[in-house]
Amino acid sequence: MSYNVLMFKWFNYVWMIIFLTFFFSLAKPVSANVLFRTGDIVDARNVTAGESGWSKTVKAKNLDEIEFRVFVENIGDTKSPDVRVRIGFALDPGNTLTNRIHLGVWSAPEATGTVDIQVDDDTAQKLVYVPGKSVKYGGGCDGCAVSDNIATAYGAYVGAVNPQEKVEVRFRAQVTNRQVNRVLGAATTPTPTPTTKPNTGNTTSNSSSGGTGGAAVAGTTPKTGFTDPIWMRTLVWLVIGSAGVGFRQVARKLSTIEA
């Protein structure tokens, strides 16, 4: 093997080592220590009944309107951009409706909390989101409108939350036994009143267990830039492709010399 071919191979090896070292140094989390309080972050009240206080368990009847209050509290030391909030209403009709709130940032663990609505009615009920009544307090807002996406799987953005800052989000839902549109919870044509025995509870309708308590925190590591999975996958494939091109050039060079 000639000196030029040997140097060319070593150049490719060194280049790959430098590139991989640079890549993995950038792939480290760029924004750590963002912590959201979890568990005891949501409560509610029955506005139809004229309640002024808030509770983790609210009693209601058919057609009552319930107001929910969610606290987005960053107890870490790093600003969290683009925080989302979404509500997961109990999926099945019942007399005890356990509803789960989710908040956090993309590509990071979510903080969660639950609140129960106990319905005093012979017919199994569900909750229907009331559009146009979601608002935000804090973070430079005093009743700013929040998107109705809060009632979808996508969630609604409530903006950035600074370290040690608390933002309050409120929205409403109505107790009903009507058929609903699951996208935004819009009520449609009423269905006949069921005559079967109502479901006495559906605490397992949502996709995980209850909150972890007010003292617990959910650690989030917002992954932006090179820490985003799609960037990492793209760079990995670029490295593999570049290495393949380099080895092909070496092989072509060797075949030319041998010929």
Same domain? For 167 and 246 the reply is no
Same domain? For 12 and 90 the reply is no
pLDDT at 202: 35
Same domain? For 231 and 216 the reply is no
Give CA–CA dist 77/221, Å, rounded.
Answer: 12
| Domain enclosing residue 127, as ranges | 34-220
Same domain? For 77 and 24 the reply is no
Same domain? For 252 and 152 the reply is no
pLDDT at 228: 44
pLDDT at 196: 37
Work out how many domains the chain is built from and give that number.
2
Same domain? For 82 and 121 the reply is yes
SS3 35: strand
10 Å CB burial of residue 23 (0-12, 13-18, 19+) is: middle
Same domain? For 52 and 174 the reply is yes
Same domain? For 16 and 39 the reply is no
pLDDT at 45: 98
Same domain? For 44 and 23 the reply is no
Same domain? For 183 and 235 the reply is no
SS3 39: strand
Q: Which residues of the chain have pLDDT under 50?
A: 28-32, 181-230
Same domain? For 100 and 157 the reply is yes
